[in-house]
Each structure stands twice: as C-alpha cells, then as structure tokens.
Amino acid sequence: MSKNVIIIGGGIIGLCSAYYLQKAGHQVTVIDKSNMDSGASYVNAGYITPSHFISLASPGMISKGLKWMFSPQSPLYIKPRLDSDFLKWAWAFKKSATPSKVEKSIKPLLDINLLSRTLYEDLHQSNDFNFHYEKKGLLMCYKTDKVGEEEWEVGKRGIREGLQVEHLSQIEVSQLEPNANLNIKGAVYYHSDAHMTPNNFMNEMIVFLKSRGVSILKNEEVLDVEINCESISNVITNTQNLKCDEVVLAAGSWSPKISKKLGLKLLIQAGKGYSINVKHDTKIAIPAILCEAKVAVTPMDGFTRFAGTMELTGINHNINPVRVNAIAEASSSYYNELHITSEEKAQVKCGLRPCTPDGLPYIGKTSKYKNLTIATGHAMMGWSLGPATGQLVSDLISEKKTDLDIQAFNPDRGF
C-alpha cells in the first residue's frame, strides 16, 4: 500500500531513504532546513568502510579524549560544558566503552557496512546514475610500531570476520602506491573498502529523485508536529502544514532538537570534522587513514580530500584554524612531497556528524509512535551506511522483513 512519507533531513541518509521508499511505491517528501549543498554529507571522506567494525565508543577512548583535550592540535577535542544533554551523553558513552559492548557491536556494524557496499555497487551499475565509485581498499598507515601493532590486531580480527586484510611493510606499500612517496613504517591494508566523491552522488541523487516525483523542500525548517492517537498526523514547517502517513527522522545532528518535540530522548552529540580539498596532483591513488594523526585521505574526482578531527563542541560551524593547520601538517608529514597551500586551507569546509554514545546508529521504529521511523546517529559512517539505512527504512515502512537483524540499532535502547 502506497503511503505518504515525510522525511525530515536531506543528507545522505534522508536521500537514500527517499530513493528506496519511492522505489517501493510510496509518495515521498524530503524537508531540509538548508540549501542542500553543504554539510557532513558533502564534505566527508567518501568512504564505504567494512573495515570500520570497531565502534567509536571503544575502551581507552575516554582516557585518550582527556589527554587530547589539552592539545589544540589533537584529533579529538571535547569542550567541557555544563549542558545536561552533553553530560547524559558523556555518561552513556562511558558506560558503553567496555570490551563486551564493543564485541557485541562488531557483527551488526560489519553486516550493515557490507550490505551498504553491495547497494552502492548496485546503484553504480544501474543506468540511473553515473557517479564516481572505486574499490581500491583502504590503507591504515602508521609511523610507530606501537600503532602498527594495534592496527594489526584489528586487522586480524577483520580476517576472522571474513575480510581480506594484509599487513604491509613500507616497501610493500611503496609498491602499491609508487608515486605517493609515503613516510611511514607500514600499513594495514583492507581490500574490502571503496570510496566516492560525495557531492557527485548527492547532486545526482537529488536530480534523480525529482525526476521520480519526490518533492524536495529546501530551506524549509520543521517547527512542530501534530499528534493524533499515538501517530504523527501533520508536520508543521515555517511555510506550511503537511499531512503524512509516515515520518522518517533523518536530521543528523539536529535530530535531538526535533525528537524533543516528540518527547523522545535521543542521545546524540554533534562531532565536527573538517576537510581540505587539494586540486593539484598529489599522486595519491589509494585512500588512506594516517593513523597517529587520525586524518583520512581520499583521491576523489579531480582532487584529493584530506579530512579529520572530531570536535564535540555543540552545534556550530566555527572553523578553528589551529585544527585546520594540524590536518595539513600531519598530511605533509606522511606524504613527503605533499604541500597544502594557504589558499587551500582557507577553503576548508566543516560538517557535523551525529554521534551516539555507543557508536551504533539509531535505525528503527520507536515504540512511542506508530508511524515514526528514526534513522540518524551514524557518526563517521554516515556516508558508508546511507544506502543500507535507506533500504532498512523502506522495508520497515513497507512492513517487509529487513535483510538484517536491526535490534542493535533500536532507537529505544537504553545505555
């Protein structure tokens, strides 16, 4: 049965949800408060990452965060603040960062990443799209033996989970990346990963959705909702009142603001990340994460993107030049011939990634409302998990059995 579905949020999760919902025969409206040409869905590293099966809330992350808090150039910065939402999130993060909980999250994270990679490949091979997509894997590059050992422990776990992973020496990396002139000790190489150019895909998807009758409302803000018998009957924006059969909340870092209007307590904190685009030839051919610096490097369509940092400072788009310089300097220390110019740094962009306390996204129906599906909290894997989340959202609303067991992503789960 065709339903009238309103999706709140026009990022990668919202657009992928719209794609699979319209494909299933539903009438879809996407609402976004922005012009839909910037933000995390446009400035991310473009990774499809089966390699990222260890959640952000891992043991030791709290102690690292406390140490990095006092360094203006650190990969992670948490701004201490007496904010009840932040304090609740931080306490839940602490409770989630245990070996047993991380272990329990490995399979669901890996499964949803693998499903999403398959769906991206299906989209790429279809006649509807022509976006940039390459499967060259991911190099986890390290400079110190300690970090190399840590990364290889994760890599060996990846092998046990069925991924193809190699531990490469510096010479072996240089044979794989002969022109990049990497200054490293070695790398753990995940063959499983792929990469894209995000803005290419986003622009193509918007054009495609419009051609299929999806209504996309840009620069329109959701102000309130009307409830009738445990269902959302209307979504009220700054310009109109829209009736609906189903609602999808996919507003990323802004989801808690909307969820509060519904009496829901979604624990999410915005994690700001920066990206620098380098348009001269870097000779970098394979995506890499520079492990000690936590910088992601992606050869995209016509440029190379250097992305990094995680700033938990609330919802804002303030650019910290110290952190931008840290990304540029770290990148140059791994690639001997790389120089990121002051002009390139001046063009830096930022985006806000919605982070849950346990590193798992919220995907599913909430028990409080009959017609609300939540799809948010994907943190640094939002791009990777876009199509899988969209397919799951469509299955739930179409009342079909999902391809995955999504209990781990239950938005009503406690911490």
The string of DSSP letters for 70-90 reads: T-TT-SEEE-----HHHHHHH
Kindly give the parts of the chain with pLDDT less than 70.
Answer: 61-72
Residue 227 in domain = yes
Q: Distance between CA 122 and CA 384 in Å, rounded?
A: 14
* Per-residue pLDDT, 411: 97
Residue 81 in domain = yes
* Per-residue pLDDT, 57: 80
How many domains is the chain built from?
1
Residue 309 in domain = yes
| pLDDT tens track for 325-384 | 999 999 999 999 999 999 999 999 999 999 999 999 999 999 999 999 999 999 999 999
Q: Distance between CA 93 and CA 87 in Å, rounded?
A: 10
| pLDDT tens track for 222-274 | 999 999 999 999 999 999 999 999 999 999 999 999 999 999 989 999 999 99
The string of DSSP letters for 289-337 reads: EETTTTEEEEE-SSSEEEEEEEEES-S-----HHHHHHHHHHHHHHBTT
Query: pTM of the full predicted structure?
Result: 0.96
Residue 415 in domain = no
* Per-residue pLDDT, 313: 87
Residue 68 in domain = yes
* Per-residue pLDDT, 154: 97
- Residue 72 has which token pair? 């203006």
* Per-residue pLDDT, 69: 62
* Per-residue pLDDT, 70: 62
Residue 245 in domain = yes
Residue numbers of the domain that contains 367: 4-409
Q: Distance between CA 46 and CA 194 in Å, rounded?
A: 8
Q: Distance between CA 51 and CA 193 in Å, rounded?
A: 7
Residue 284 in domain = yes
* Per-residue pLDDT, 413: 94
Based on its alpha-carbon atoms, the radius of gyration of the chain, rounded to whole angstroms, reads 21
User: Considering Cα of 89, then 378, then 348, then 298, what sign does the dihedral take?
Assistant: positive
Q: Between β-strands 76-78 and 304-312, what pairing exists: parallel, antiparallel or unpaired?
A: parallel
Are the beta carbons of 165 and 191 closer than 8 angstroms?
yes
Q: Distance between CA 248 and CA 6 in Å, rounded?
A: 6
Q: Distance between CA 49 and CA 405 in Å, rounded?
A: 19
Q: What is the CATH number of the domain that holds 85?
A: 3.50.50.60
DSSP helix/strand/coil, 173: helix
Residue 92 in domain = yes
